[in-house]
Amino acid sequence: MTDDKVRCFGADDPLYRRYHDEEWGRHVPDSPDERAMFERLCLEGFQAGLSWLTVLRKREAFRGAFDGFDPARVAAFDEADVERLMADPGIIRNRAKINATIGNARALLKLHDEGLRLTDLIAEHAPPARTRPPLTFDDVPSQTEGSVALSKALKKHGFRFVGPTTMYATMQAVGMVDDHIAGCWLSAAPSRG
């Protein structure tokens, strides 16, 4: 089913279109365990070097393989779980990214033990709101001073696969940056929260 809405991306694929229209650039639901934010961080890490559409198509399999991205459960994964995940054709089978996801769950739990929240840490480094939407994706940076600083802060806390470009993409995905292009039906929306 198509419509006449103009989109920044995703118009040619129903899954991608739904992601653009209903999720990208919107704030994630909050919870004490920060499960939704943890999922986004992990999936952005898995996306590194690949198409986001590839990750979207595997998202439900990722959720099943990683126990719904419950940080406490993922933090308890061991080498047998790594081997199980490496044998799962439904996900991206990259040992370094799988190990990083498990390590990031442990880092997130440690962050919580220190009285800190991932959501707050990301928000701290988000750039100021734009006064007008970017005209093209050429006007959208791949990283910013804030995403570089966030990457360093997360690495200091033990997170991996959190480079500056991945962190900027995370900020975009979770609504801390609004990079809908001028002309996109969402770029003029007063509130998408």
- DSSP labels, 10-21: -TT-HHHHHHHH
Q: Please state the pTM of the whole predicted model.
A: 0.91
| 11 token code pair | 């118009």
pLDDT tens, residue by residue, 162-193: 999 999 999 999 999 999 999 999 985 444 44
Closest CA to 28 of 11, 15, 17, 44: 44
Q: Where are the domains of the chain?
A: 14-173
What pLDDT score does 3 carry?
80
| 190 token code pair | 């007063």
Q: Which residues carry out catalysis?
A: 19, 44, 52
Which one of 1.10.340.30, 1.10.10.10, 3.50.50.60, 3.40.50.970 gives the CATH number of domain 14-173? 1.10.340.30
